[in-house]
Structure 1
């Protein structure tokens, strides 16, 4: 049987031809569009999305941060100490009078024999606010320039004989009038009145003795302050490894100074000495030795003030 030539499998009909033409035209258009797009973008690749770092947190300067609990003042007004004391270990310490700008210069003394003798250094500053250590362990005093009253860090490599502006040092807690300034730079006013004394344990933890007798602590670099039980006749504070310490002067059963732990604890032995307001400073050395400078007495304790 002969085949029908018009019905073979590859026979082209008008419909098929039209479809093929349309397909070719569409395919050609798509190829042209793709090549044109590549040509337009060849000289300008797509911009990359670069990762961004969060902005550095900036603490509000001099912000007032009320304590979580602010009980009424339960003690007499506290006179801020005119003295500073920095204990290195059981034998070495530095002390001095703060002075005030611009009229009264500060003083500086050092001991390496547990306070038996003191060497007097020269000073080129006044209103000493705090003592810190630099990386190479010269002594650093943060104070005011005697001429301009600007706060400056000074260091000495020769026991206080000569001073110069410190190039670098380990930031420390500073009490300046009503402000408590953390090592990170946050300045707050935790007390209703002024700050009588301040001691920091590390960059985050510190204790403040307010001029109205309240005791406040922080564990977050001054972002918040929490009141602890006030201590009657408190005159100075220090930061121990396990507790904040409070120096008490003029209590009925101690004609002198004794040390107790903030928030409660054993009452330490009395250091018998005549003490005027503003004449007490206390510090805890790196080895745990507690130093007290009150009146004319220097006392040291190896057991947190229980005995001297």
Structure 2
């Protein structure tokens, strides 16, 4: 049976070091899935929303909102996730309000280890497995996950609870959540990095944690903001000889030389990432845009579609 591609999964988790472009990649993947006729939900986790604005839509908040045809967004917060979970368990909103909205009860709930993370992750995974009229509500749920350390902490919660919680409703929830996270047919994790030293190092560490601790199927590496290689070796040598020339030639040669050096360094870090991570790798271009928005996301989506992943299957 062939391995499903990234967007064939019901759940795609996108993570990496903060600032590497996780939200942009998440939004671009959602655009590609919607272009293919899929019904898509993108979830952010207790964040200042970026996905909907990147798509040219207003923030969704804690309610699912359509950002463009077939593409919906949601910001999952612990308080709203707890409210939904409590109402689902207690069945009646009035009972939830009387119990869970009590100030002392809320204080008690906040000190229960991992409860906030469990209900937050549970809300996302519930959306990934939910059905309407006998078919999946969403063809794919894309999670713009927190940065590396927080993402690992969030995704580790079901496994940690299975090691500590006795039989009961909480353990039952942890069991189905863990089963979904570990299912290679339904779930995949994508790592995003920049072609720079610290992001690549963190991507390698994250990959090791996913393999050794989480066990979530890894499916893709996105190397974002790759500068273009514009000059041959001979041209670079010529540029170096022109650096001291009077303006405008000298400053232009200096700028070009700096760009060439950056591209050369980026190639080295790309090679290191590819050598360390046995993942299909998609290289995304550095775009010369002043502000990120819907047009830039469309260009990144086009780049992903035009550059089939290279490397290990």
TM-score, with length taken from structure 2: 0.31
Higher share of residues assigned helix: 2
* Greater percentage in strand: 1
Larger Rg: 1 or 2? 1
